[in-house]
């Protein structure tokens, strides 16, 4: 790293309540030469609240490739930059990866300024296991692609964390109930740290019913936390996923024979699953 090079700070900002901006984050935002914003107007509101008048430059998914060389050149010349997203910790389902990759390639200093993150905030109040969890970000918007992604996660034994918009949360919860089973424990956290913060800790079926009956439950930004599959359920899901692929090419008996050898289950168990799946198809 050149001795005169600047630093790129990755600064976490509030997910709702502006009082969650840390003193260190405020100090960094006051001192850097440029603040890189997902939305300069949105970040401008927060900066004005704290009397910070730093220069803002937009950095989002549509201009990141074009902006990166300019920012890297600025860092090489000794200027300091701070990267912020609209809310929470940058790069967690937000732009910035291309910039970080370029900074790493150029051996430039990158320093985190930790703080709020909606995923961590949600899982901390979900009442579900937190020793191991899997962050999935946003599910696909299309129904078929969304169900396909959920089916790939059906056997995941870690707690699952999803981001979702208010307009799609009902569909996503309904698909989760269909794929994972309606009795799977879950929690829906919406508008965290904001005036209308709500956390619903129910089964997926109960959450789906709530969202159908109460329009307010689907308003705002949402984080869905879903309990992982039991180990036995995870094994069953792996077997069924393999059988679905095999059934595209061979008869149920052959699919069952192959799957039984791979997963160490009886051929009778594998055949019963293969017949059920082929019948459903």
Tokens of 157: 């034994």
Q: Tell me, what's the pLDDT at 281?
A: 46
Q: Is the pTM of this model over 0.85?
A: no
User: DSSP letters along 19-83, please?
Assistant: GGS-HHHHHHHHHSSEEEESSHHHHHHHHHHTT---EEEE--TTTHHHHHHHHHHHHHTT--EEE
Phi and psi of 204, rounded to 5°?
Answer: -60, -40
Per-residue pLDDT of the chain (281 residues; tens, 9 = 90+): 556 899 999 999 999 999 999 999 999 999 999 999 999 999 999 999 999 998 999 999 999 999 999 999 999 999 999 999 999 999 998 889 999 999 999 999 999 999 999 999 999 999 999 999 999 999 999 999 999 999 999 888 899 999 999 999 999 999 999 988 898 899 999 999 999 999 999 999 999 999 999 888 888 899 999 999 876 777 788 888 899 999 999 999 999 989 888 877 778 878 888 988 887 44
Q: Tell me, what's the pLDDT at 280?
A: 47
């Amino acid at each position: 790293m050149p001795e005169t090079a600047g630093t790129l700070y990755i600064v976490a900002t509030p997910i709702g309540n502006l009082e969650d901006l840390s003193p260190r984050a405020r100090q960094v935002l006051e001192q850097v030469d440029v603040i890189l914003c997902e939305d300069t107007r949105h970040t401008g509101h927060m900066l004005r609240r704290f009397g910070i008048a730093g220069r803002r430059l937009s950095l989002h998914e549509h201009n990141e490739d074009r902006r990166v060389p300019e920012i890297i050149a600025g860092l090489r010349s000794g200027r300091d930059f701070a990267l912020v997203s609209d809310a929470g910790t940058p790069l967690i389902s937000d732009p910035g990866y291309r910039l970080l990759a370029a900074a790493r390639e150029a051996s430039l200093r990158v320093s985190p300024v930790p703080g709020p993150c909606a995923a961590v905030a949600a899982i901390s109040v979900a009442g579900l296991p937190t020793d191991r969890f899997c962050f999935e970000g946003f599910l696909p918007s299309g129904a078929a692609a969304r169900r396909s992604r959920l089916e790939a996660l059906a056997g995941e034994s870690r707690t699952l964390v999803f981001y979702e918009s208010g307009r799609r949360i009902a569909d996503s919860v309904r698909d989760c109930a269909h794929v994972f089973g309606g009795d799977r424990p879950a929690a829906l956290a919406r508008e965290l740290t904001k005036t209308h913060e709500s956390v619903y800790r129910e089964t997926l079926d109960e959450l789906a019913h709530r969202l159908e009956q109460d329009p307010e439950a689907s308003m705002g930004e949402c984080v869905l936390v879903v309990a992982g599959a039991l180990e036995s359920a995870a094994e069953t899901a792996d077997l069924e996923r393999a059988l679905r692929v095999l059934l595209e090419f061979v008869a149920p008996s052959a699919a069952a024979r192959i799957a039984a050898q791979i997963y160490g289950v009886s051929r009778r168990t594998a055949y019963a699953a293969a017949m059920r799946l082929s019948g459903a198809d």
